[in-house]
A and B are shown apart, each in its own frame.
Chain A
Amino acid sequence: MSRQRSMETILVSEYVSIGELVRLTGSRYSTLKHYTEEGMLPFEQAEENLTRRYRREETVARILWIKELKANGLSIPEIKEALDHE
């Protein structure tokens, strides 16, 4: 079975898993899962049962932006709207 990827490898790879996003951004898993379900974090999935893959650079930037908006007091629907207008 596979070993966990090192931070060096993650930082150069194009795609990351949700667990690796947690390691990169320090966000809670349930938060990222919620964002994904709300359609705020786009992902790719090869087949139904395979892991969701996220584009690393774009997704990390997006999460940081969402965090910033949240810190400014915006609610999730408002953040969604802001992301749609992007």
Chain B
Amino acid sequence: MTDLKLAQSFALIALNAQSSLYLTNAKKVSLRCMAAAVILEANLEGCFTQAENKLTFHKEVLEQSHSTLYREKVLQPLLHNHTEVIGDLNWWLKKASNLSKKKLKKFEIAISDYLKSINMLEEIPSLLGSDMYFDSAGVEMRAYRSNLETYSRITENIRAEILEEGSVTDEIICMLWLLRESGCMHDFFSRNELEKVNTRMNELYQSNLLAKALFPIQIHHGIELGIKQLLEMKTKFMKTYTGSSINFFFPFLERSQAVFIETEAWFDNSNKRLNSVLTRLRSYGHEVKVIEGGSIATLKIDNMLYDAMPHFVIMRVPIQGVRLVPKHPV
């Protein structure tokens, strides 16, 4: 039970289940927000000197021993060779989130190495790598997995603070903004809860100085978030009756998420089929827990929930298996 800083906690949420080898579009969105989280973290810890609306950062603060390597990777490029840099919160957040791909990659390595060193993050074979098509093609895919318990502590703490009456802490205000900018709100709150979150955010905007300064700032990149939203829209459509039937005929439409795990034999019994899938996933190094049994079981694989639907594909011979469809919110 350690105290994690803001950027570290957010990184655990943002990096979870992301590809660790490639800079995917979704990971780029996460990394930009993680870089902004570093600025917010430094601000909360009083590393900036504030005069009116301007935040000043002195180089000496970075040189002090307590600043961590990942913080340097974000702040150093913004400082260049200057001894101090002045800008408002909007300027700092935008600058940090606009770091080049190369610098983002260095930042990712710095923060993921740190989180790995304290056993909060690990690299595992990606769930998609267990998909029959990828598995048989021999494509190596790896993904990050956050420590299961810490992940749920962080996300449930955000939910508790915002959905419960009473005051909200500064960390949670920053977290909410980061979740909004990274387009992750839907992953943690149901539709009904989102209405409440919206009301609470409006209240905070009216009453809280940090929220008033932070909430109007937007750092997301239209195109990147647009692609992410398009994929989300596709996922939503695929969940409708028409969508799901199309999806079963053309499974490649949802290939990026719905993973097909083939079973070794034809099973007439759903329990046997489920056990076969569980064994297979565990052999790939995933942590699997059955939340609900039955013919369509709900599985918690690493930190995500999936529905395991019985399914078969026809190659030269029909191959029976299970299609894992992600479930949101967690």
Residues of A within 8 A of B (CB): 1-4, 6-8, 17-19, 21-24, 26-30, 32-33, 49-52
For residue B121, give the distance in angstroms from its CB to the closest CB of chain A: 17
Pick the most buried of B2, B157, B170, B171: most chain A CB atoms within 10 A of its CB. Answer: B157
Partner of B210, one of A1, A24, A52: A1
Contact B170 A23 (CB under 8 A): no
Interface size counted on chain B using CB atoms at 8 A: 26
Chain B residues contacting A24 (CB-CB under 8 Å) are 1
Residues of B within 8 A of A (CB): 1-3, 44, 149, 152-153, 156-157, 159-161, 163-173, 208-210
Contact A23 B153 (CB under 8 A): yes
Chain A residues contacting B157 (CB-CB under 8 Å) are 19, 22-23, 29
Compute how far the CA of A82 lies from the CA of B172 in the bound complex, rounded to whole angstroms.
Answer: 36
Closest residue of chain A to B163 (Cβ to Cβ) is A29
Chain B residues contacting A33 (CB-CB under 8 Å) are 160, 163-164
For residue B286, give the distance in angstroms from its CB to the closest CB of chain A: 20
Partner of B160, one of A1, A7, A18, A26: A18
Number of CB contacts from chain A to chain B under 8 A: 71
Contact A2 B169 (CB under 8 A): yes
Contact A1 B149 (CB under 8 A): no
CB contact under 8 A between A22 and B171, given known A1-B208, A29-B163, A49-B165: no
Chain A residues contacting B167 (CB-CB under 8 Å) are 1-2, 51
Chain A residues contacting B169 (CB-CB under 8 Å) are 1-4
Compute how far the CA of A2 lies from the CA of B167 in the bound complex, rounded to whole angstroms.
Answer: 8
Compute how far the CA of A7 lies from the CA of B157 in the bound complex, rounded to whole angstroms.
Answer: 13
Chain A residues contacting B160 (CB-CB under 8 Å) are 17-19, 21-22, 29, 32-33
